Amino acid sequence: MNASPRSGLFSAWQLRRRADVPVWLDLLARLAAIALALLLVGIVLKLSGLDPLALGRKALAQTLGSAYGLQQALILATPLAMTGLAVALGMRMRLWNIGAEGQLYLGAFFATALALFVEGPPGVMLVLMFFAGALGGAVWVLVPALLRAYWNINEIITTLLLNFVSMLLVTHFAIGPWRDTGASILSATRRLPYEIPVLGNSYLTAGVFIPVILALLLNLILQNTRWGYEVRVIGGSRGVAEFAGIPVLRHILLVMLFSGALAGLAGMIEVSATAHRLSGTISNNYGYMGIIVAALANGSPVGVLIAAFWLAVLLNAGIVLQTSGLSVSAMLAINGVILIFAAVGEVASQYRLVRRDMAAASEPATSGAGREAEPVLVSSQDMEPIPPAEKSPR
């Protein structure tokens, strides 16, 4: 058990798994991941003949340094936080909703349909659109949720494939039947008659409060209700949850439907607060960015708010720098690097470097100590009926 595969230069040192990862270390690992990714980007920029420090200063000044920039960041952070919450909720149960992009489209689609074809007092209509958006997202995730719950079919693939379908669907309506015939250049619907009110003398709308309220509500539900507790148990170990009589299938269905509804709401907010028209480009990869937000927040609803704001600043910096040679594709690539570093950082925080002689001294206490629900003293035979907690679905 003491034999480590590492030898030679590193033989005096050994990696040990931490029984418990302190919060500050977890946070540090995430920050380090972001810093490393940005460093890498800086090196690439430097190599391609640009001055990364000057670019960074310019980006910071125009995003965080001005009231306008700050407001723009908050506006962009709103859909990111919503899709982030959608993905984070699924992560709590080790479900991966990669279809937030498509659910956002459908939420926007449902809300737009209501706004275009039904008339009513604005207040009532906005509430109805809110629920229509949530319904749209939930409808779009229904089939993947059913397939996952009853046949254990990989929800990553099904939700993702539906993203392509939803984009084609919305584009079809935006450039076809619903197209604004008044403005010949636009390939979008006419301006929606209902919009979320603007806050005082600013660019912000009341829409920015929606993710904040929902995040706090979600946190409360997850931490303080029986339902939230059961969801967390299933996330820890599905085997344990089944053994305890928790209706796992029903929870999978519900969590995925709620996750879809959250992403759908992101679409509703976009069409009624920011874009005001439905088009085939209503989402600028917000659904995919939501995955990054949720990963950086490690599935914590309040963390999602912070991560979303941070990512919005980064994205806006990218937009500011577009004239200096960065593009949307480049930002997507940078996000990919951040995601990989974040995943590696998460693992790194679970280990610590110890001297071999000290490790030997503390051997009985730390040996075999796993994370969370990994049974320590159970022999492998007893574990047989419980599937591995981290096992991915088919």
Partner 1 sequence: MNVLSGLLAAAIASGTVIALAALGELLAERSGVQNLGLEGVMAMGALTAIASELLVPNPALGVLAAIGIGLLLGLIYATATVAFRANQVLCGLGLAFLGTGLSGRLGAPLSGLRAPVPLQPVRIPWLADIPLIGNALFNQPLLGYFAYFILPAAITFVLMHTRHGLNLRAVGENPSAADACGVPVVRLRFVYTCIGCILAALGGAFITLSFTPSWIEGITAGRGWIAIALVIFGTWRPLPVVLGALLFGAITSLGFVAQIQGWGIPASFLGMLPYLATILLMAIPYAMKSRAFRRLGTSPAALGVPYVREGE
Determine, following the binding rule CB under 8 A, whether residue 342 of this chain makes contact with partner 1.
Answer: yes
Considering only the stretches 76-84, 169-177, 198-206, 248-256, report the one whose residues sit in contact with partner 1 under the rule CB under 8 A: 169-177
Pick the closest to residue 139 from 265, 49, 257, 39 (CA basis).
257
Considering only the stretches 116-124, 144-152, 213-221, 224-232, report the one whose residues sit in contact with partner 1 under the rule CB under 8 A: 144-152
Pick the closest to residue 291 from 102, 27, 74, 75 (CA basis).
102
Between the CA atoms of 140, 311, 201 and 122, what dihedral angle is there, to the nearest 10 degrees?
A: 0
Nearer CB in complex with partner 1: 45/269: 45
Determine, following the binding rule CB under 8 A, whether residue 332 of this chain makes contact with partner 1.
Answer: yes
What is the nearest approach in angstroms of partner 1 to the Cβ of residue 378? 13
Out of 291, 319, 320, 321, the only residue in the binding site for partner 1 (CB under 8 A) is 291
Nearer CB in complex with partner 1: 46/172: 172
**The two three-digit tokens of residue 234, written as one number:** 């299933």
Determine, following the binding rule CB under 8 A, whether residue 98 of this chain makes contact with partner 1.
Answer: yes
Determine, following the binding rule CB under 8 A, whether residue 176 of this chain makes contact with partner 1.
Answer: yes
What is the nearest approach in angstroms of partner 1 to the Cβ of residue 59? 17
Binding mask 232-271 for partner 1 (x = CB under 8 A): ----------------------------------------
Are 230 and 251 a contacting pair, CB within 8 Å? yes
What is the nearest approach in angstroms of partner 1 to the Cβ of residue 157? 5
Residue whose tokens read 């229904």: 142
Segment 14 to 53, residues that bind partner 1, using CB under 8 A: 15, 17
Are 282 and 104 a contacting pair, CB within 8 Å? yes
- SS3 assignment, position 194: coil
With residue 297 as reference, give the H or E element that holds it.
helix 286-297
Q: What do you get for the CA distance between the two ends of the chain, in Å?
A: 32
Determine, following the binding rule CB under 8 A, whether residue 169 of this chain makes contact with partner 1.
Answer: yes
Question: How many Å apart are CA 237 and CA 242, to the nearest integer?
Answer: 9
What is the nearest approach in angstroms of partner 1 to the Cβ of residue 101? 12
In degrees, rounded to 5, the angle at the alpha carbon of residue 343 between the alpha carbons of residues 88 and 384 is 80
Query: For the chain, how many helices (H) and strands (E)?
Result: 15, 2
Question: How many Å apart are CA 85 and CA 91, to the nearest integer?
Answer: 10
What is the nearest approach in angstroms of partner 1 to the Cβ of residue 267? 18
Are 213 and 269 a contacting pair, CB within 8 Å? no
Determine, following the binding rule CB under 8 A, whether residue 215 of this chain makes contact with partner 1.
Answer: no
Segment 295 to 314, residues that bind partner 1, using CB under 8 A: 295
Nearer CB in complex with partner 1: 162/255: 162
189 strand-pairing partners = 179
What is the nearest approach in angstroms of partner 1 to the Cβ of residue 49? 15
**The two three-digit tokens of residue 321, written as one number:** 């720098």
Nearer CB in complex with partner 1: 269/312: 312
What is residue 13's DSSP assignment? E
Determine, following the binding rule CB under 8 A, whether residue 153 of this chain makes contact with partner 1.
Answer: yes
Contacts with partner 1 by CB under 8 A lie at 1-2, 4-5, 15, 17, 96, 98, 143-144, 147, 151-154, 156-158, 160-162, 164-165, 168-169, 171-172, 176, 288, 291, 295, 327-340, 342-344, 346-348, 367-368, 388, 390-394
